[in-house]
Amino acid sequence: MAEATGSGPRGGRRGGGRGGDRYGEGAEGAGEGAERRGGGRGRGRRERAGAAGGRAPREESRLQETVVKVMRNAKVVKGGRRFTFGALVVVGDGRGQVGIGHGKANGVPDAVEKGVKQAQKELMRVPLVHAGTIPHQVIGRFGSTKVYLIPAAPGTGVKAGAAVKAVLVAAGVENILTKVHGSTNPVNVLKATCRALRALRTREEVAALRGGGAGPLRLATPARGGGGGGLTGA
């Protein structure tokens, strides 16, 4: 009995010590695992945050906004007049991408914001040549407005009115001659200018439509009867 009684506590201490060691090792292992898991989560968050910080900017963030005109409309109501505003906005990246928008709201900032959102939805690609001009002469029509766009040599600059110039500069055109006939309403002028830019075609696109290659240009043989010659593809 004495031996059993003596061995009991020893066995208990030994068992408790071993059990305690085991539990301690388990706790240390759990702590290391928690540190590893916590460190992994922390590193993952930091890496994701770093990746997000170094990510290239979105396409919309490179677009430049230009407010062409802000219009005010007054409506007579009981007790006074109620004003609403409209904003004509042009957005572009200066590298051949441009769009126009017309926003209306009770305040000028809200009208501009709506115009910017609409312009971003209507972005279009404008073909440009190496001289910073358009490939060929084109005419855009909207209502009673006609806008003529004529290519120009390097160093000419953008010879245009306020509305047409805003669109061309936003598109990245550097040398061009323009003329507006008919109505000079900014809304009509902007839409006519965009229609003219949409009608532009490169030599490769025209050759693909005709089913031939885009060979070098040559002077066409004058027709009988005094007809003038022109430039044609080889």
CATH number for the domain including 98?
3.30.160.20
End-to-end CA, the chain: 119
Residue 70 CB partners (closer than 8 Å, separation 6+): 85, 86, 87, 88, 108, 111, 112
Tell me how many domains the chain contains.
Answer: 1
Residue 2 lies in a domain: no
Tokens of 55: 């990510």
pLDDT of residue 214: 57
Residue 173 lies in a domain: yes
Residue 157 lies in a domain: yes
Residue 185 lies in a domain: yes
Cα three-residue angle 122-123-128, rounded to 5 degrees: 145
CA pair distance 126, 171, nearest whole angstrom: 7
Residue 79 lies in a domain: yes
pLDDT of residue 90: 96
pLDDT of residue 61: 57
Q: What is the pLDDT of residues 39-52, one digit of tens each?
A: 445 454 444 444 44
Which residues span the domain enclosing 98? 61-198
Strand ranges, E, within 129-193: 138-142, 145-151, 158-159, 176-182
Residue 211 lies in a domain: no
CA pair distance 6, 36, nearest whole angstrom: 44
pLDDT of residue 53: 44
pLDDT of residue 145: 96
Residue 29 lies in a domain: no
What are the residue ranges in the chain where pLDDT is below 70? 1-61, 212-234
Q: Give the pairing of strands 158-159 and 176-182.
A: parallel
Q: Would you state the torsion angle of the CA atoms of residues 61, 65, 71, 75, taken in this order, to the nearest 10 degrees?
A: 0
CA distances from residue 182 to 71, 189, 197 in whole angstroms, order as listed: 21, 10, 19
Summarize the chain as % helix, strand, coil (round to 5). 45, 30, 30
pTM of structure = 0.64
